[in-house]
Amino acid sequence: MKVVDLHCDTMAELWYSQWDNKKPMELEKNSLHVDLEKLRKGDYLLQNFAIFVNLGRNLDPFESALSQIDIFYREMEKNKEKIRAVKTYEDIETNIQEGKICAMLTVEEGAVCKGKLSFLRILYQLGVRMMTLTWNFENELGFPNLRSKSSQSKYEYEFEKGLGLKKKGIEFLIEMERLGIIVDVSHLSDEGFYDVLQYTKKPFVASHSNARALCRHPRNLTDDMIRKLAQRGGVIGLNYSPNFLEEGETEEDCHSSVALMASHARHITNIGGIECLALGSDFDGIEGKLEMKNCSMLPLLLEALEKEGFKHSQIEAIFYKNVLHLYKELLI
Protein backbone atom coordinates (compact mmCIF):
# COMPACT_ATOMS: atom_id res chain seq x y z
CA MET A 1 0.00 0.00 0.00
CA LYS A 2 1.23 3.51 -0.84
CA VAL A 3 2.59 5.62 2.03
CA VAL A 4 2.74 9.35 2.72
CA ASP A 5 4.67 10.42 5.83
CA LEU A 6 4.25 13.94 7.19
CA HIS A 7 7.52 14.14 9.13
CA CYS A 8 11.03 12.74 9.34
CA ASP A 9 14.35 14.30 10.43
CA THR A 10 16.55 12.53 7.90
CA MET A 11 17.92 15.64 6.18
CA ALA A 12 19.00 17.04 9.53
CA GLU A 13 20.79 13.77 10.29
CA LEU A 14 22.59 13.89 6.94
CA TRP A 15 23.66 17.45 7.72
CA TYR A 16 24.74 16.70 11.30
CA SER A 17 26.79 13.73 10.02
CA GLN A 18 28.90 16.29 8.14
CA TRP A 19 28.83 18.97 10.84
CA ASP A 20 29.95 16.59 13.58
CA ASN A 21 32.89 15.36 11.46
CA LYS A 22 31.44 11.91 11.13
CA LYS A 23 31.55 9.94 7.91
CA PRO A 24 29.04 11.81 5.70
CA MET A 25 25.89 9.84 4.93
CA GLU A 26 23.81 9.92 1.76
CA LEU A 27 20.13 9.45 1.03
CA GLU A 28 20.52 6.47 -1.30
CA LYS A 29 21.60 4.05 1.42
CA ASN A 30 22.49 4.71 5.05
CA SER A 31 22.10 3.42 8.61
CA LEU A 32 19.17 5.73 9.39
CA HIS A 33 15.44 4.96 9.56
CA VAL A 34 14.94 6.50 6.13
CA ASP A 35 16.87 6.10 2.91
CA LEU A 36 15.90 5.56 -0.72
CA GLU A 37 16.29 1.81 -0.57
CA LYS A 38 13.98 1.57 2.44
CA LEU A 39 11.50 4.04 0.95
CA ARG A 40 11.19 1.86 -2.13
CA LYS A 41 10.67 -1.26 -0.04
CA GLY A 42 8.02 0.55 2.01
CA ASP A 43 6.15 1.60 -1.17
CA TYR A 44 6.38 5.30 -0.32
CA LEU A 45 4.58 7.77 -2.50
CA LEU A 46 5.72 10.89 -0.62
CA GLN A 47 8.03 11.71 2.26
CA ASN A 48 8.09 15.10 3.98
CA PHE A 49 11.70 15.95 4.85
CA ALA A 50 11.95 18.37 7.77
CA ILE A 51 14.68 20.98 7.98
CA PHE A 52 15.30 20.79 11.72
CA VAL A 53 17.42 23.22 13.74
CA ASN A 54 18.18 22.71 17.42
CA LEU A 55 18.54 26.17 18.96
CA GLY A 56 20.48 24.61 21.84
CA ARG A 57 23.48 24.09 19.56
CA ASN A 58 24.08 27.84 19.21
CA LEU A 59 24.23 27.80 15.42
CA ASP A 60 22.74 30.48 13.20
CA PRO A 61 19.26 29.04 12.56
CA PHE A 62 18.69 30.53 9.10
CA GLU A 63 22.16 29.61 7.85
CA SER A 64 21.70 26.09 9.25
CA ALA A 65 18.37 25.75 7.46
CA LEU A 66 19.92 26.88 4.17
CA SER A 67 22.72 24.34 4.57
CA GLN A 68 20.20 21.54 5.03
CA ILE A 69 18.17 22.73 2.05
CA ASP A 70 21.36 22.64 0.00
CA ILE A 71 21.88 19.00 1.03
CA PHE A 72 18.25 18.23 0.15
CA TYR A 73 18.58 19.53 -3.40
CA ARG A 74 21.99 17.93 -3.94
CA GLU A 75 20.49 14.58 -2.90
CA MET A 76 17.52 15.16 -5.20
CA GLU A 77 19.86 15.81 -8.12
CA LYS A 78 22.00 12.73 -7.40
CA ASN A 79 18.92 10.53 -7.21
CA LYS A 80 16.64 12.23 -9.74
CA GLU A 81 15.73 8.97 -11.45
CA LYS A 82 14.16 7.73 -8.20
CA ILE A 83 12.99 10.73 -6.18
CA ARG A 84 12.00 14.30 -7.00
CA ALA A 85 11.14 17.39 -4.98
CA VAL A 86 7.54 18.64 -5.10
CA LYS A 87 6.17 22.12 -4.50
CA THR A 88 2.65 21.85 -5.92
CA TYR A 89 -0.02 19.19 -6.17
CA GLU A 90 0.61 19.10 -9.90
CA ASP A 91 4.23 18.09 -9.13
CA ILE A 92 2.90 15.19 -7.04
CA GLU A 93 0.65 14.02 -9.87
CA THR A 94 3.56 14.20 -12.33
CA ASN A 95 5.81 12.14 -10.06
CA ILE A 96 3.10 9.52 -9.58
CA GLN A 97 2.70 9.21 -13.35
CA GLU A 98 6.45 8.87 -13.82
CA GLY A 99 6.96 6.42 -10.94
CA LYS A 100 9.08 8.77 -8.85
CA ILE A 101 8.97 9.10 -5.06
CA CYS A 102 7.92 12.60 -3.97
CA ALA A 103 9.97 14.64 -1.50
CA MET A 104 8.53 17.74 0.15
CA LEU A 105 10.52 20.25 2.19
CA THR A 106 9.20 21.27 5.60
CA VAL A 107 10.69 23.16 8.56
CA GLU A 108 10.71 22.09 12.20
CA GLU A 109 11.45 25.24 14.26
CA GLY A 110 9.99 28.57 13.18
CA ALA A 111 13.04 30.33 14.65
CA VAL A 112 14.91 29.55 11.41
CA CYS A 113 13.27 32.76 10.11
CA LYS A 114 14.69 34.81 13.01
CA GLY A 115 11.40 36.70 13.17
CA LYS A 116 11.78 38.01 9.61
CA LEU A 117 8.91 37.59 7.15
CA SER A 118 11.39 38.08 4.32
CA PHE A 119 13.21 34.90 5.45
CA LEU A 120 9.87 33.06 5.45
CA ARG A 121 9.26 34.16 1.88
CA ILE A 122 12.75 33.02 0.87
CA LEU A 123 12.07 29.58 2.36
CA TYR A 124 8.86 29.39 0.36
CA GLN A 125 10.75 30.21 -2.84
CA LEU A 126 13.20 27.42 -1.95
CA GLY A 127 10.34 24.92 -1.72
CA VAL A 128 9.32 24.83 1.95
CA ARG A 129 5.61 24.00 2.13
CA MET A 130 5.02 23.28 5.85
CA MET A 131 6.46 24.67 9.08
CA THR A 132 6.14 24.15 12.82
CA LEU A 133 6.02 27.45 14.67
CA THR A 134 8.24 26.15 17.49
CA TRP A 135 10.36 23.19 18.50
CA ASN A 136 11.29 22.78 22.18
CA PHE A 137 12.42 26.36 22.83
CA GLU A 138 10.65 29.68 23.12
CA ASN A 139 11.30 31.71 19.97
CA GLU A 140 10.20 34.92 18.25
CA LEU A 141 6.84 33.36 17.32
CA GLY A 142 5.66 31.66 20.50
CA PHE A 143 6.11 28.96 23.10
CA PRO A 144 6.54 25.18 22.84
CA ASN A 145 4.56 22.55 24.70
CA LEU A 146 7.18 21.95 27.39
CA ARG A 147 5.79 23.06 30.71
CA SER A 148 6.91 22.92 34.32
CA LYS A 149 6.06 19.72 36.15
CA SER A 150 3.38 19.89 38.81
CA SER A 151 4.40 16.65 40.52
CA GLN A 152 7.05 13.95 40.51
CA SER A 153 5.18 12.13 37.76
CA LYS A 154 6.75 12.38 34.34
CA TYR A 155 3.35 13.12 32.82
CA GLU A 156 1.90 15.76 35.16
CA TYR A 157 2.47 19.32 33.94
CA GLU A 158 1.30 22.79 34.82
CA PHE A 159 -0.76 24.46 32.11
CA GLU A 160 0.83 27.90 32.15
CA LYS A 161 -1.59 30.57 30.95
CA GLY A 162 -0.77 33.18 28.35
CA LEU A 163 2.08 31.28 26.70
CA GLY A 164 0.64 31.00 23.24
CA LEU A 165 1.64 32.83 20.09
CA LYS A 166 3.36 36.18 20.21
CA LYS A 167 2.36 39.09 17.99
CA LYS A 168 5.07 38.07 15.53
CA GLY A 169 3.70 34.53 15.49
CA ILE A 170 0.29 35.79 14.44
CA GLU A 171 1.93 37.83 11.66
CA PHE A 172 3.65 34.66 10.49
CA LEU A 173 0.37 32.73 10.46
CA ILE A 174 -1.20 35.30 8.16
CA GLU A 175 1.76 35.29 5.79
CA MET A 176 2.05 31.49 5.78
CA GLU A 177 -1.57 31.17 4.71
CA ARG A 178 -1.09 33.81 2.02
CA LEU A 179 2.00 32.09 0.63
CA GLY A 180 0.75 28.52 0.89
CA ILE A 181 2.96 27.21 3.71
CA ILE A 182 0.93 24.76 5.80
CA VAL A 183 0.84 25.58 9.52
CA ASP A 184 2.08 22.69 11.69
CA VAL A 185 1.08 22.79 15.38
CA SER A 186 3.22 19.86 16.57
CA HIS A 187 5.46 21.12 19.42
CA LEU A 188 3.30 24.23 19.91
CA SER A 189 1.90 25.06 23.36
CA ASP A 190 -1.75 24.32 24.11
CA GLU A 191 -2.61 28.01 24.06
CA GLY A 192 -0.69 28.37 20.82
CA PHE A 193 -2.87 25.66 19.29
CA TYR A 194 -5.99 27.67 20.07
CA ASP A 195 -4.34 30.83 18.76
CA VAL A 196 -3.78 29.05 15.45
CA LEU A 197 -7.42 28.04 15.46
CA GLN A 198 -8.45 31.65 16.07
CA TYR A 199 -6.17 33.43 13.62
CA THR A 200 -6.23 31.06 10.63
CA LYS A 201 -8.90 30.12 8.14
CA LYS A 202 -7.37 27.19 6.26
CA PRO A 203 -6.82 23.60 7.45
CA PHE A 204 -3.65 23.01 9.45
CA VAL A 205 -1.78 19.91 10.63
CA ALA A 206 -0.14 18.31 13.64
CA SER A 207 2.51 16.48 11.65
CA HIS A 208 3.75 14.15 14.40
CA SER A 209 1.47 13.97 17.46
CA ASN A 210 -0.69 11.32 19.14
CA ALA A 211 -3.64 11.21 21.57
CA ARG A 212 -3.09 12.64 25.06
CA ALA A 213 -6.05 10.63 26.36
CA LEU A 214 -3.96 7.47 25.85
CA CYS A 215 -0.53 8.86 26.70
CA ARG A 216 -0.14 12.07 28.73
CA HIS A 217 2.92 13.31 26.90
CA PRO A 218 2.47 17.10 26.61
CA ARG A 219 3.21 16.94 22.88
CA ASN A 220 0.13 14.79 22.26
CA LEU A 221 -3.26 16.33 21.45
CA THR A 222 -6.26 16.50 23.73
CA ASP A 223 -9.60 15.22 22.47
CA ASP A 224 -10.79 18.80 22.06
CA MET A 225 -7.76 19.63 19.92
CA ILE A 226 -8.31 16.52 17.79
CA ARG A 227 -11.95 17.43 17.30
CA LYS A 228 -11.29 21.06 16.39
CA LEU A 229 -8.39 20.28 14.06
CA ALA A 230 -10.59 17.72 12.30
CA GLN A 231 -13.48 20.16 12.02
CA ARG A 232 -11.11 22.58 10.30
CA GLY A 233 -10.22 19.86 7.78
CA GLY A 234 -6.68 19.24 9.02
CA VAL A 235 -4.77 16.01 9.60
CA ILE A 236 -2.78 14.49 12.46
CA GLY A 237 0.34 12.46 11.74
CA LEU A 238 0.63 9.37 13.93
CA ASN A 239 3.96 9.57 15.78
CA TYR A 240 5.97 6.32 16.23
CA SER A 241 8.02 7.50 19.22
CA PRO A 242 7.80 5.17 22.25
CA ASN A 243 7.08 7.90 24.81
CA PHE A 244 4.30 9.32 22.64
CA LEU A 245 2.59 5.93 22.56
CA GLU A 246 2.70 4.69 26.16
CA GLU A 247 3.56 5.90 29.63
CA GLY A 248 6.46 4.56 31.68
CA GLU A 249 8.49 5.61 34.68
CA THR A 250 11.35 6.42 32.31
CA GLU A 251 11.60 6.75 28.54
CA GLU A 252 13.53 3.48 28.52
CA ASP A 253 10.40 1.74 29.85
CA CYS A 254 8.35 2.81 26.82
CA HIS A 255 7.95 0.73 23.67
CA SER A 256 6.88 1.61 20.17
CA SER A 257 4.65 -1.16 18.85
CA VAL A 258 2.24 -1.24 15.94
CA ALA A 259 -0.49 -2.40 18.34
CA LEU A 260 -0.08 0.81 20.37
CA MET A 261 -0.11 2.85 17.16
CA ALA A 262 -3.35 1.14 16.15
CA SER A 263 -4.87 2.01 19.53
CA HIS A 264 -4.00 5.69 19.08
CA ALA A 265 -5.34 5.51 15.53
CA ARG A 266 -8.64 4.12 16.79
CA HIS A 267 -8.97 6.80 19.47
CA ILE A 268 -8.12 9.67 17.12
CA THR A 269 -10.54 8.51 14.44
CA ASN A 270 -13.27 7.90 17.02
CA ILE A 271 -12.91 11.55 18.08
CA GLY A 272 -12.15 13.29 14.79
CA GLY A 273 -13.26 10.89 12.08
CA ILE A 274 -11.27 8.78 9.66
CA GLU A 275 -10.44 11.81 7.49
CA CYS A 276 -8.25 13.47 10.14
CA LEU A 277 -5.61 10.77 10.59
CA ALA A 278 -2.36 10.31 8.69
CA LEU A 279 1.19 9.09 9.36
CA GLY A 280 3.93 11.24 10.89
CA SER A 281 6.65 8.80 11.87
CA ASP A 282 9.25 11.23 13.26
CA PHE A 283 11.78 8.73 11.90
CA ASP A 284 15.40 9.78 12.46
CA GLY A 285 14.17 12.04 15.23
CA ILE A 286 13.19 9.22 17.59
CA GLU A 287 14.98 6.40 19.33
CA GLY A 288 14.29 3.57 21.74
CA LYS A 289 12.51 0.24 21.38
CA LEU A 290 10.92 0.39 17.93
CA GLU A 291 8.99 -2.53 16.49
CA MET A 292 9.01 -0.75 13.11
CA LYS A 293 12.75 -0.23 12.92
CA ASN A 294 12.72 1.74 9.68
CA CYS A 295 10.45 2.96 6.91
CA SER A 296 10.54 -0.32 4.98
CA MET A 297 8.39 -2.01 7.66
CA LEU A 298 5.04 -0.21 7.15
CA PRO A 299 3.26 -3.51 6.32
CA LEU A 300 3.45 -4.27 10.06
CA LEU A 301 1.31 -1.23 10.80
CA LEU A 302 -1.13 -2.16 8.06
CA GLU A 303 -1.64 -5.57 9.69
CA ALA A 304 -2.11 -3.98 13.12
CA LEU A 305 -4.75 -1.60 11.78
CA GLU A 306 -6.56 -4.52 10.18
CA LYS A 307 -6.54 -6.32 13.54
CA GLU A 308 -7.92 -3.15 15.14
CA GLY A 309 -10.89 -3.40 12.78
CA PHE A 310 -10.06 -0.75 10.21
CA LYS A 311 -11.36 -1.44 6.71
CA HIS A 312 -9.03 -1.45 3.71
CA SER A 313 -10.44 1.85 2.45
CA GLN A 314 -9.91 3.43 5.88
CA ILE A 315 -6.29 2.25 6.00
CA GLU A 316 -5.73 3.73 2.54
CA ALA A 317 -7.08 7.02 3.86
CA ILE A 318 -4.68 6.94 6.83
CA PHE A 319 -1.67 5.77 4.83
CA TYR A 320 -1.87 8.34 2.02
CA LYS A 321 -5.25 9.55 0.77
CA ASN A 322 -6.04 12.00 3.58
CA VAL A 323 -2.77 13.87 3.07
CA LEU A 324 -3.15 13.90 -0.70
CA HIS A 325 -6.62 15.37 -0.30
CA LEU A 326 -5.21 18.09 1.97
CA TYR A 327 -2.31 18.85 -0.37
CA LYS A 328 -4.65 19.11 -3.34
CA GLU A 329 -6.48 21.86 -1.46
CA LEU A 330 -3.49 23.71 0.01
CA LEU A 331 -0.44 23.29 -2.27
CA ILE A 332 -0.89 26.13 -4.74
pLDDT at 21 over 70: no
What was the pLDDT predicted at 155? 61
- Helix, strand, coil in percent for the chain, rounding step 5: 45, 15, 40
Residue ranges making up the domain that contains 146: 3-330
Q: Is 1 helix (H, G, I), strand (E, B) or coil?
A: coil
What is the pTM (predicted TM-score) of this model? 0.96
Residue pLDDT, tens place only, 60-80 = 999 999 999 999 999 999 999
Beta strands in the chain (DSSP E): 3-5, 44-52, 83-85, 101-108, 128-132, 182-184, 205-206, 235-238, 255-256, 277-279, 289-290
Question: Phi and psi dihedrals of 37, rounded to 5?
Answer: -60, -45
Number of residues that make up the chain: 332
The domain tally of the chain equals 1
Residue 156: which pLDDT band, with cuts at 50, 70 and 90?
low
Residues pairing with 277 in the sheet: 236
Residues 320 and 46: their CA atoms lie apart, in Å, by 8
What was the pLDDT predicted at 16? 87
What was the pLDDT predicted at 177? 98
- Pairing outcome for strands 235-238 and 255-256: unpaired
Q: What is the CATH number of the domain that holds 228?
A: 3.20.20.140
Which of the 8 DSSP states describes residue 322?
H
CA angle 162, 207, 4 (to 5 degrees): 170
Greater pLDDT, 19 or 289: 289
Residue pLDDT, tens place only, 170-182 = 999 999 999 999 9
What was the pLDDT predicted at 23? 77
Residues 274 and 248: their CA atoms lie apart, in Å, by 29
pLDDT at 266 over 70: yes
What was the pLDDT predicted at 248? 84
- Pairing outcome for strands 83-85 and 44-52: unpaired
Question: Which ranges of 43-166 would DSSP assign to H, the alpha helix?
Answer: 61-78, 89-98, 117-125
Mean pLDDT of 110-117: 98
pLDDT at 158 over 60: no
Evaluate whether 252 touches 283 at the Cβ level (below 8 Å). no
Question: Phi and psi dihedrals of 320, rounded to 5?
Answer: -160, -30
What was the pLDDT predicted at 330? 98
pLDDT at 29 over 80: yes
Residues 135 and 53: their CA atoms lie apart, in Å, by 9
What was the pLDDT predicted at 162? 73
Residue pLDDT, tens place only, 97-108 = 999 999 999 999
Q: Is 89 helix (H, G, I), strand (E, B) or coil?
A: helix
Residues 41 and 280: their CA atoms lie apart, in Å, by 18
